[in-house]
Structure 1
Amino acid sequence: MRGRGRMRRISFVWFLMAFMLMFSGTSLASQSSYVVQSGDCLWNISNSTGVSVDTIKQINGLHSDNLSIGQILNLGGYSAPEVVQAPTGDSSTYTVVSGDNLWDISRKFGTSVQNIRALNGLTSDALNVGDVLKVNGTVVYNPPVSRAGGNVSGSRVVEKAAQYLGTPYRYGGSGPGGFDCSGFAKYVLGQFQVDLPRTAASQYGYGVTVAQGDLLPGDLVFFACSGSGIDHVGIYSGDSSFIHSSSPHSGGVIYSSLTNGYYANTYVGAKRVIR
């Protein structure tokens, strides 16, 4: 009887060890993938995993911010970037290494992509290994100027945006043949030499924060339509209205009102990218 009891205890120990190994393997696997849940958006998945929105989209071949419940996203085994305290003083530098992008660097140093670009005179997000970037310092904001030499006016931006009224909504679209929301904002502002990031969440990190009561035509207005992160953007046109590429079921590029219950409830904030 004692022999049988000992064998049972040994069998139980082996079973327990096997279970722990199996669970450990599952945990390791979960670090390199993420299953989309109800209410998820790329913005909150990025915040919870430490992998940038642009990186998630790149390694999963996503052309828009749209996700489906149950969708498995590959995170490429990334871990959250280490947050480092930026050195004190008027300026500090960072040397670009393989795999770096402006979004991750800005998070490391508690600054914004726009500030890094302004400090270093960058006109795009492209980086080269070995580049030495200023990541801390005083930035003088110079508003974009028109090709005629004057400051870009918000009314001109709205006039340009209105030329595309009725253009169909297209997932991942960023041209006159079809736009998604951030593709529309990027395309229109691009006509005035304002190079916005590609996604609504990334665009929110660009420009100067504006209170809703101080909005001017041409400002970007942002929304968290899914309720858990910025996933929609439009161009303010005045009188509490904005122009945006809404959805496939709403007519594509249309005007909407900030006082509308849906957009009033999902409004997050605004940024001024021109003056």
Structure 2
Amino acid sequence: MLKKIVLVISIIFIFQLAFTGSAVAAETYHIVKSGDTLWGIARQYDTNVEQIKQLNQINSDNIKIGLKLCVKITPDQAPVVQIAESAAEDTALIDSAEQVYIVQPGDSLNSIAQKYGTSVEMLKRINNLTSEVLNPGYILKLNMPGADVSRGGNVDRVAAAVLATAKQHLGTPYRYGGSSPGGFDCSGFVKYVFSQHGYNLNRTAAAQCGQGAAVSKSDLQLGDLVFFKCSSSSIDHVGIYSGNNEFIHSSSPRSGGVIITNLDESYYARSYAGAARIIQ
């Protein structure tokens, strides 16, 4: 624990040096003139509007004449940023249950989520973010403390029992709004299965996503819930991870109701939105 604390403090110190020790040389500024737009300024400095917004902590496209905008951070910082990123990776090796990532210029929540096999919604929930704007140097948690990847024997037995119950219902027809063995929709199936083992889950996939501890795709374990955005911009489908990169779920009338599907199947790989651990 002490080693981890010292390392995290070192990460912060290194990154503070990176962003304060050479601020004058590393940052490029532009004074807004009449007729300027963020798009035009971004094009002038070979950057993008989103990065300018992040660097200056602004949410609107409207800019006032005379405003001093930071438009770019030069590569002079790259070696120090790389050291900081390596340190963050070392932290993950020390305690994989508390992984962190230090935001770098040009990063977005979407790019970080894709890199670490999670979702924007999960990152926002873990870090209590209300906006998707990130500033370089921000230490972003990638999963929740407590989502320990090493589980005791009793937890594994519970997960195995949950999956055994789920598999008893393979072939049960899909029924919109269904939450009983006569027919399930996706969240009704998950709620029913977990209720047989003493868990009271929320009724919808989106609400179930807010329960349990968020976990990355690479850390999935038996019994974890996996979430998808299949037909909208919000979470609208859920299943139970069953191992071997597969999950069991009530899919659709056309697909045969309760089935087992591989996470790499193109439709679900595209719509994957994160995972949560209920059994701990």
- Name the TM tier (shorter chain): 0.3 to 0.5
> Whose radius of gyration is greater, 1 or 2?
1
Query: Taking structure 1 as the reference length, what is the TM-score of the superposition?
Result: 0.46
Structure with a larger share of its residues in helix: 2
TM-score (structure 2 length as normaliser): 0.45
